[in-house]
Amino acid sequence: MTLIQAFFIQWGQLLYSTFIEQQRYLMLLDGLKNTIIITLGALLIGIVLGTAVAVIKFLAEEKPALKPLAWLCNVYVTVVRGVPVVVLLLIFYFVILRSADGIVTGIVAFGINSGAYMAEIIRGGINAVDGGQTEAARSLGFNRMAAMRFVVLPQAVKNILPAIGNEMIALLKETAVAGYVAVQDLTRAANLIRNNTYDALNPLLATAIVYLTMVVLLTALLGKLEMRLRRSDVR
């Protein structure tokens, strides 16, 4: 038996004792499920909140009545972007949503954090659309809100899709700190397995591979969506 064969046999035995014994792999699967739930929920909140903030700030440039609301939006973006996501998560868990489930707290905290970044991304995309597009829509009888919904936002999405994709990937990786609020996410599951087996390499390596796989799949999906949008422009 060569050294390489002995190494793989020993590694296989270690993998078996780490993941298969006592069905510890189920902990990783449960952590993966919680990670995906938190990511999707937070992403939905982030997109909705970010779009609302960006539209309010854009419309406030011509509607003085929206200036106070736009000021509040600026405060929200500044505060959230200036506070580390871990601190924000702990504030929501121990102060604001003390009676809520850890997963719910994670969704809300990560969603509000993501919304601040989404707002700036979407606002940049809106500003990148030629002002003549809005004027043309207004000349056809659209009010400013309708022009924003049917003309400006669809074009802005095409411009900001790569940036939104980056924010989605960042959000997915940020959920690795959800374990701070007693949520068994993917990273916390790996730490629990490490504590039980005294094997640090394999649980953490498995976690890294799972995160990398999700990021690669998400990147490929966004790439296909971007190509489809470009083809629609050519037509």
pLDDT in tens, 162-171: 889 899 999 9
> Given this model, what pLDDT does residue 60 score?
84
Rounded mean pLDDT, 195-199 = 85
Map 37-99 to HEC letters. HHHHHHHHHHHHHHHHHHHHHHHCCCCHHHHHHHHHHHHHHHHHHHCCHHHHHHHHHHHHCCC
User: According to the per-residue pLDDT averaged within each range, which of 37-41, 149-153, 190-194 is highest?
Assistant: 37-41
> Given this model, what pLDDT does residue 145 score?
73
Question: What pTM was estimated for this model as a whole?
Answer: 0.87
Q: Which of 16, 56, 17 is nearest to 196 (CA)?
A: 17
pLDDT category of residue 149 using cuts at 50, 70 and 90: confident
Instruction: Quote the distance between the C-alpha of residue 23 and its chain's center.
Output: 30
Under 8 Å CB-to-CB from 41, ≥6 apart: which residues?
Answer: 107, 111
> Given this model, what pLDDT does residue 198 score?
85
Segment 40-87, tens digit of pLDDT: 999 999 999 999 998 888 888 778 888 899 999 999 999 999 999 999
CATH topology of domain 33-234: MetI-like fold (1.10.3720)
Q: Which of 31, 40, 39, 42 is nearest to 204 (CA)?
A: 31
**Rg (alpha carbons) of the chain, rounded to whole number:** 23
Segment 87-140, tens digit of pLDDT: 999 999 999 988 788 899 999 999 999 999 999 998 888 887 777 777 777 777
> Given this model, what pLDDT does residue 53 score?
93
Instruction: Judge whether residue 1 has pLDDT over 70.
Output: no
Instruction: Judge whether residue 3 has pLDDT over 80.
Output: no
Q: Which of 34, 35, 13 is nearest to 197 (CA)?
A: 13
Instruction: Judge whether residue 187 has pLDDT over 60.
Output: yes
> Given this model, what pLDDT does residue 87 score?
94
